[in-house]
């Protein structure tokens, strides 16, 4: 059965690769972009399959209008891809107020709002797939990208909670967490905060790598796009999907470090229980509380 996709940031990078893969697979796409004319070549190649929509994801009214327009045109939305976003490098104290706001508005508030706009339609049809394009930076923190990662950690948490909330409605949510891919994320679309003294060996090293032209990501965006097309048809999709060997290595190392830290500080963690806690935890209700996964 032909699916209808709603993809934000479809004109470049991973969004472009995904839009092309979806069209090639025979599905239809409501392709949003700030400049939809950049999709003219795809409109000519896939007439009737692609419906370009002008959208600035940070403008709430445009978000709801774009979703309603897509539904009016295609009749439904089966798959939502929240892809629009960009990165920024700098020390946490050096970002301008505008840079902080723009990161949170584009990389966190926007995907939340687009999701909220689409959910009523998916709820009524009792089906749907939502893929949030996050980052391994939403699972592992690194110097120099604190504000970007604040947004991505937030998106990861939102997606994990949402997945539990909408599962009974037939809606599945996956937070896609790529490592470095060969798009312009670390190139033309990357922005930088003003430099401040003292961060040369942390933030400075990351900035130097990205501006040197020597950073060559291992991820292939076309392969990632194929994975996501397949994922939209998987009956049991994961809540988190890490993409790329680099990202897998980073996550494994981070998990080991977190677990070691948790074990080291376990006595302190447990020392904060109320004196009556042990009696409660030995009851059936307490055991359920300890083992809950919701």
Residues forming a β-bridge with 51: 30
The catalytic position among 152, 156, 159, 199 is 152
252 and 235 share a domain? Answer: no
The pLDDT, as a whole number, for residue 288 is 62
Told to judge if 289 belongs to the known catalytic residues of this protein, a careful annotator would answer no
Tell me how far apart the alpha carbons of residues 130 and 78 are, in angstroms, rounded to a whole number: 9
Query: Does the pLDDT of residue 287 top 70, yes or no?
Result: no
- Output b/e per residue, 193-220; b: 16+ Cβ within 10 A: beeeeebeeebbebbeebeeeeeebebe
> Which of 147, 148, 146, 246 minimizes the C-alpha distance to 202?
146
The pLDDT, as a whole number, for residue 102 is 94
Query: Does the pLDDT of residue 186 top 60, yes or no?
Result: no
Query: Does the pLDDT of residue 185 top 60, yes or no?
Result: no
Told to judge if 148 belongs to the known catalytic residues of this protein, a careful annotator would answer yes
235 and 114 share a domain? Answer: yes
The catalytic position among 148, 156, 159, 199 is 148
Tell me the pTM. 0.89
| In contact, 78 and 127? CB cutoff 8 Å | yes
167 and 229 share a domain? Answer: yes
Query: Does the pLDDT of residue 175 top 90, yes or no?
Result: yes
The catalytic position among 134, 135, 156, 159 is 134
What stretches of the chain show up as alpha helix (H) in DSSP? 13-24, 40-45, 60-74, 97-104, 110-125, 146-166, 203-212, 221-231, 245-264, 266-270, 277-281, 284-291
The pLDDT, as a whole number, for residue 179 is 79
Per-residue pLDDT band for 293 (boundaries 50, 70, 90) equals: low
Told to judge if 127 belongs to the known catalytic residues of this protein, a careful annotator would answer no
Q: Which domain holds residue 273?
A: 246-294
Place of tokens 């302190």: 268
**How far lies 216's CA from each of 134, 160, 189, in Å?**
20, 31, 15
The pLDDT, as a whole number, for residue 75 is 97
User: How many residues are given for the chain?
Assistant: 294
The pLDDT, as a whole number, for residue 146 is 93
Mean of pLDDT values over 200-220: 77
Per-residue pLDDT band for 188 (boundaries 50, 70, 90) equals: low
290 and 219 share a domain? Answer: no
184 and 51 share a domain? Answer: yes
236 and 254 share a domain? Answer: no
262 and 292 share a domain? Answer: yes
Tell me how far apart the alpha carbons of residues 110 and 113 are, in angstroms, rounded to a whole number: 5
180 and 50 share a domain? Answer: yes
Mean of pLDDT values over 146-150: 93
Return the CATH number at 29: 3.40.50.720
Query: Does the pLDDT of residue 21 top 60, yes or no?
Result: yes
148 and 272 share a domain? Answer: no
Q: What is the DSSP letter of 38?
A: G
Query: How many domains would you assign to the chain?
Result: 2
105 and 162 share a domain? Answer: yes
Between 292 and 42, whose confidence is greater? 42
15 exposure class (CB count in 10 Å sphere: 0-12, 13-18, 19+): buried
Mean of pLDDT values over 85-98: 92
9 and 103 share a domain? Answer: yes
284 and 144 share a domain? Answer: no
> Which of 73, 62, 82 minimizes the C-alpha distance to 30?
73
pLDDT digits (tens, 9 = 90+) for 22-57: 999 999 999 999 999 999 999 999 999 999 999 999
pLDDT digits (tens, 9 = 90+) for 117-142: 999 999 999 999 999 999 988 899 88
């Amino acid at each position: 059965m032909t699916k209808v996709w709603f993809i934000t940031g479809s004109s470049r990078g991973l969004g472009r690769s995904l839009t092309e893969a979806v069209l090639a697979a025979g599905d239809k796409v409501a392709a949003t972009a700030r400049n939809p004319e950049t999709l003219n070549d795809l409109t000519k190649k896939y007439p009737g399959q692609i419906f370009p929509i002008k959208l600035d994801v940070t403008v709430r009214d445009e978000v709801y209008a774009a979703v309603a327009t897509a539904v009016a045109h295609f009749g439904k939305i089966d798959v939502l891809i929240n892809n629009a976003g960009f990165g920024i490098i700098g020390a946490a104290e050096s970002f301008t107020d505008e840079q902080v706001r723009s990161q949170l508005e584009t990389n966190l508030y926007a995907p939340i709002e687009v999701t909220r706009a689409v959910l009523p339609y998916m709820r009524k049809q009792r089906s749907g797939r939502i893929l949030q394009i996050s980052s391994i930076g939403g699972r592992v923190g690194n110097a120099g990208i604190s504000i970007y990662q604040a947004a991505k950690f937030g998106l990861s948490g939102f997606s994990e909670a949402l997945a539990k909330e909408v599962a009974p409605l037939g809606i599945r949510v996956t937070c896609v967490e790529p490592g470095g891919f060969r798009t312009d994320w670390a190139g033309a679309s990357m922005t930088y905060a003003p430099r401040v003294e003292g961060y040369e060996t942390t933030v400075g090293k990351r900035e130097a790598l990205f501006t040197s032209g020597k950073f060559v990501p291992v991820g292939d965006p076309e392969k990632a796009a194929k994975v996501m097309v397949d994922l939209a048809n998987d009956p049991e999709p994961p809540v988190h999907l890490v993409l790329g060997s680099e990202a897998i290595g980073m996550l494994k190392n981070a998990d080991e470090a977190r677990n070691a830290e948790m074990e080291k500080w376990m006595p302190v963690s447990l020392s904060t229980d109320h004196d009556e806690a042990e009696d409660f935890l030995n009851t059936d209700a307490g055991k359920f509380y300890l083992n809950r996964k919701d």
